[in-house]
Chains A and B, each alone.
Chain A
Amino acid sequence: MAKEVIRLGGAELIIPQSTPKELIRLENIKRIFYQVASQDDDENVSAETKEKGLEILKGINMTINTGEFVALQGSSGSGKSTLLHILGLLDRPTVGSYFLEGEDVSKLSDDRLSIIRNQKLSFVFQSFYLIPYATALDNVLLPAQYNKKPLSAQKKRAEELLKQLGLGNRMHFKPSALSGGQQQRVAMARALLNDPEIIFADEPTGQLDSATSRDILNLFTEMNEMGRTIILVTHDSDTAASAKRIVLLQDGQIAGETLT
């Protein structure tokens, strides 16, 4: 454990400092999408052709600690969204190991991954992905359907979150009656409902105007300041600048890192 020593008058105070806790560790993560010209089941297609795959991620090694605000920045096709999907347990690496809280999660069952997604992770997407026929409140309550926490408590929390995000008078509106910024706030409230450890954001400001984008990014900063780990994917360097650490991806590999 690291120590910080402070001299106060003649006395010497030793203050223990907690080292950042490792939350995510990726070891040689590769993701290959197999693209075959004809049908996969066609026996006439040679094994070599079947094995032709598109390597999107080419051996990613990285560590993310608890409480970090990381931006994965890269141009289109750099593999940043694919990496986010793997980090968010929405996809599995073809090769390599993914350690979440020190445990290899890359080979867990689908049901187990669902539990982890429900309890520890959450997502904010560029297209909001709200259910069109459900109200804002019901959309926020969506993760509550799949756990055993009392619904009344979760509903209360959903209402509080919507109020905090300035949607107290819109919670019974359907998405079609909300603006883009409001829809993204509903998505963020949904992401916060289960008090997740990590929030993944995939181009969260991609469909918003610049003023609304700033608001949304400020909200991510606030969430991070409250102790949540934020992993944000963007192609835009201004958006990436709101993060504390920027990981630059290029052609499926980490091309560099910057601390802001």
Chain B
Amino acid sequence: MSLAKKNSRRGFTEVFLITSRILYESLHSFRAFPLRSVFVILAIAFGSSSLTIISTALDNTSVVVDELVADFGPDAMMIIGGDQIVTAVGGRGMTLTKEDVERISNNINSVEYVVPLQGTVGNDVVYKGKSARHPFVVGSLADFAKSWDWPLTEGRDLNDKDVENGAKVTVLGSKVKEALFENESPIGKQIRVGQSSFTVIGVLEERGAFSGQEHVDNRIIIPFSTLVSRFPVDRNHFQIIRVRFNDSEAISRYTEEIRSLLRYLHRLEDHEEDDFFLLSSDEILVFVGIFKGGLTLFLGMTAVCSMLVGGFVLANLFSLSVESRYVEIGIKKAVGARKSDITVQFLFEACLLTVVGGFIGGIIGIVVSFYISSLGVMQVGFSIYPFLLSLSVSFVIGIIFALKPARTAANLDVIAALRGN
């Protein structure tokens, strides 16, 4: 063998063999340094579990947003009366009129439904001694369920005849139905709302969402004409106008058309703000996107900090570990280990610990997420991605934070290492 001239680079087979042997030896480090292993695994597991919970929560947010948009209707928009300044009692100005409804219906192309909505809160709904407390009593024109893309589980929707006659009929939200009738069918039954009796003609499907602080399923729908005649509400104005279009592609264009029309109808000067608020699924996505972005940033920083703490624990313990293993490093170099072999050994040891920590943390995170889900705080569907993310980040943390101690070990002088200094 020529000592000087032979290339000292290893071939693929040699690299594979030596690396696999070093990896195998690294497995022993679990038992050889149990305290170090436990501390690193725990530190990473805590960070990793929070990362898993956070990414699961953010995943859940996406699902909720999708459901929200689906419930709202991608082909629909809502016009809310009043400007954006909330009054002292939490209400908004009443600016939407019948004329607005008619002109939108007649002037805007592609409009399928225009359904105004007026409502009142504060009346208990009673049936045979059972009551639903303070549901939102909504006055609507015909086709409420269709315009809100809100299916009925039984019965029928309001029709034009109900509205023309001021019929004392109602469609129940699922929470009200549950409170009054449980498993019994309410169709045709008489319920009492305030001082008036109403016949139940339909039941809406459960949505499970909130509108402000109110549960959207805690409502009853009655004809608009009945509402204004039997409850003390503004007869000339609506709180909300629901508009549904034939297609969802040009929602932003329709939004601008409706804005222009309403500004014209409300005689707003150029310098004046809108006295209404337009809400479309696009706007919901933008709003939720901003909210989710903030949430991601905040929670992401929390998760990153947790992982960094784990990383610093790792770096600290590995630095101490290198110091206590000078002789081992020295003898390995004396028998032929290269700098790269020593580096790889320490990186393997670190990554094994962090990946085990990440795995345990991932499991803890998923269990905790499901527990939180069982409390009704959020919905969790099992997804492998938060788990894989947790493992990947743990691996990267292992590489980054063990690199310095590993390089220190690799660069030790053989003689100094053997002498333990």
Which B residues touch A95, using CB under 8 A? none
Q: How far is the CB of B339 from chain A (nearest CB, A)?
A: 7
Q: Which of B365-410 contact A (CB under 8 A)?
A: none
Interface string of B405-421 (1 = CB under 8 A from A): 00000000011001000
A129 CA to B4 CA, complexed, in Å: 29
A145 within 8 A of B: yes
Partner of A118, one of B3, B336, B415: B336
B334→A90 contact, CB < 8 A = yes
Min CB gap B22→A, angstroms: 7
In the complex, A222→B3 CA distance in Å? 27
CB contact between A146 and one of B18, B32, B415 (< 8 Å): that residue: B18
Closest Cβ of chain B to A123, distance in Å, is: 6
Listed stretches B58-66, B136-144, B150-158, B325-333; interface member: B325-333
Contact A148 B14 (CB under 8 A): yes
A131 CB contacts on chain B under 8 angstroms: 328, 331
Give complex CA distance A114, B335 in Å.
7
CB atoms of B25 and A91 under 8 A apart: no
CB of A228 within 8 Å of the partner chain: no
Tell whether A190 pairs with B335 under 8 Å between CB atoms, given A103-B2, A145-B25, A148-B18: yes
CB-based contact B335/A112 at 8 Å: no
A85 x B338 contact (CB < 8 A): no
Task: Say how far A23's CB is from chain B's closest CB, in angstroms.
Answer: 12
Query: In this assembly, does A45 line the interface, its C-beta being within 8 Å of a C-beta of chain B?
Result: no
Please name all residues of chain B whose beta carbon is closer than 8 Å to the beta carbon of A100 when the two chains form the complex: 3
Centre residue among A123, A131, A190 by max chain B CB count within 10 A:
A131
Interface string of B298-336 (1 = CB under 8 A from A): 000000000000000000000000000001101111111
Task: Please report the C-alpha to C-alpha distance between residue A116 and residue B332 in the assembled complex, in whole angstroms.
Answer: 14
Are B334 and A123 touching (Cβ within 8 A)? yes
Q: Which of A138-186 contact B (CB under 8 A)?
A: 142-148, 151
Residues in chain B near residue A127, CB distance under 8 A? 327
- Produce 1/0 per residue, B5-46, CB < 8 A to A: 010110101100110011001001001110000000000000
With an 8 A cutoff between CB atoms, is A41 at the interface?
no
Residue on A nearest B14 in the bound complex, by CB:
A148
The distance in angstroms between the C-alpha atoms of A151 and B21, with both chains bound, is 9
| Distance of A115 Cα from B33 Cα, bound (Å) | 29
CB pair B418–A118 under 8 Å, yes or no, is no
Q: Does B337 touch A at the CB level, under 8 Å?
A: yes
The binding surface of chain B is classed by DSSP as helix
Docked pose: A147 CA to B337 CA in angstroms: 9
- Are B3 and A146 within 8 A (Cβ)? no
Q: Which residues of A contact B414 (CB under 8 A)?
A: 90-91
Q: Are B336 and A108 in contact (CB under 8 A)?
A: no
How many interface residues does chain A have, given as a range?
35 or more
B336 near A147 with CB under 8 A, answer yes
Known contacts A91-B415, A134-B28; A111/B22 CB under 8 A: no
Taking CB atoms and an 8 Å cut-off, the chain B residues in 327-360 that contact chain A are: 327-328, 330-339, 341
Bound-state Cα–Cα, A66 to B339, Å: 30
Does B1 belong to the interface (CB within 8 Å)?
yes
Q: Is the C-beta of A101 less than 8 angstroms from some C-beta in chain B? A: yes
Cβ distance B227 to chain A, nearest Cβ, rounded Å: 81
Among A111, A112, A117, A129, point to the contact of B327 (Cβ < 8 A).
A129
Least CB separation from B21: chain A residue: A145
Answer yes or no: A69 CB below 8 A from chain B CBs.
no
- Interface presence of A220 (CB below 8 A): no
Distance between A219 CB and nearest chain B CB, rounded to angstroms: 19
Least CB distance, B280 to chain A, in whole angstroms: 66
* Contact across chains for A145 and B18 when beta carbons are under 8 A apart: yes
Binding site for B on A (CB under 8 A): 85, 88, 90-91, 100-101, 103-105, 108-112, 114-119, 122-123, 125, 127, 129-131, 133-134, 142-148, 151, 190
Question: What are 13 A-B pairs at a CB distance below 8 A?
Answer: A108-B4, A109-B8, A112-B4, A123-B335, A129-B330, A142-B332, A143-B335, A145-B22, A146-B18, A147-B18, A147-B336, A148-B14, A148-B18
Known: A88-B334, A133-B33, A146-B338. 5 other contacts (CB 8 A): A90-B414, A129-B327, A143-B335, A143-B336, A148-B17
Q: B: which residues have CB within 8 A of A? A: 1-4, 6, 8-9, 11, 13-14, 17-18, 21-22, 25, 28, 31-33, 327-328, 330-339, 341, 414-415, 418
Closest A-B pairs by Cβ, 10 of them = A118-B336, A133-B32, A146-B336, A143-B335, A111-B8, A148-B14, A112-B8, A129-B331, A103-B3, A103-B4
